[in-house]
Every structure is written in structure tokens, then in C-alpha cells.
Amino acid sequence: MFGGGGISPIKVDHLIRGYTGSVGGMVLWTSNLMGDYAGVRPSKSIQDYMAALPGVSRFVNKEEGTGLRSYYYDMARDVNEAYREYLTIKANYPDKLDPFLADTDKVQRVAMAKGVRDLSNRLAKIRSAIKSISASSGDSEEQQQMIADLRALENELLGNLNLKGLRERAGRSSFF
């Protein structure tokens, strides 16, 4: 109803939660559970439903952790910021390039920029595929399996990274 009609389901969710608070959150949680039961939306695990329950989410994590993703995007943000700074200095302030290059943390971040950009593009393609599968009509069990496979690929890509080592190289070791 909302996704194809020009109204974002996420905006509707935020509107309901914003105006009704926990009561609206419970109504949304219940409607998601009923939609799962009726087969009109991909089903979630009990752990994911518990994590979405208002007031309980701080005690229960979603089945697919977001920790790796958060650490990666924090690091990627720092790497991209250093790379943009490098390009700006190189193009507009060449006299300030030597002091920039003297900062080993910034040089490490700049050196990581291409790899981070490539991985970010791969992750964006996975998210885009998940979004298009979720928006398409069809067999919800098949869609659910395809989405689960894509999320597993995303987790595998992030899991294969030595994020601790990469963040140390990027000068962010204080977060581990």
C-alpha cells in the first residue's frame, strides 16, 4: 500500500512512532507479526521480533549483528574524509601538502581509500539488491531466502576484513 503509492513505509513508521510513542510501536510490531503470519511480508526470526519490541530492543540484539557494519562505516567515513582533504590540499594548497603527508595516520587513511571505496560499492550493490527484492512481488519464501543469502554475503565480506587491523592502520585503534 505505502511503498508503491509514493509514501515511504519508513516515513509512515516514523510518523506513527513519533505521534504515538510506545503504543504505536506496539501496534506496528503487532502488524508486522500478523503480516509475517499471513505471508504478506518476509518472516523474521523470534530474536529479530524481540529486538524490534519497544522497550526490549536495548536488551536483545538482532540476529544479524550490525557491529561489523558500524565499525566498517565509521572507518570508511574517516578514510573518505582524509582522502577528500588530501585531494583538496593537492589541488588548491600544494604548499600545505608536506605537513599533511607528515601525519602518518592521514597518509594511512589516504592509502586505504581505493579499497574502502571498492568494498563500499560492493556493499551498496548488495543493499540495492535487497531493497529491490523486498519491493518486488512474488513468492515471499523465495524472496526471504534471496535476502538471507545477500545478508550472509554482506556479513561474509565484512567478516573477512581484519577490521581491527584496518582501523589501527587508519588511526582509529581507540575504538577496540
CB 47 within 8 A of CB 137: no
Per-residue model confidence as pLDDT tens digits over 73-126:
888 888 899 999 999 999 999 999 999 999 988 898 899 899 889 999 999 999
Domain edges within the chain: 1-63, 67-175
| Highest mean pLDDT pick, 41-55, 57-71, 110-124 | 110-124
For residue 78, the tally of other CB atoms under 10 A from its CB is 19
Mean pLDDT computed over 54-66: 56
Q: What percent of the chain has pLDDT over 90?
A: 19
Where does the pLDDT of residue 18 fall: very low under 50, low under 70, confident under 90, or very high at 90 and above?
confident
Judge if pTM exceeds 0.85: no
Write down how long the chain is: 176
Where does the pLDDT of residue 143 fall: very low under 50, low under 70, confident under 90, or very high at 90 and above?
confident
Instruction: Say what the pLDDT of residue 90 is.
Output: 93
Instruction: Say what the pLDDT of residue 133 is.
Output: 84
Using DSSP's 3-state secondary structure scheme, residue 89 falls into: helix
Q: What are phi and psi of 171, to 5 degrees?
A: 80, 25
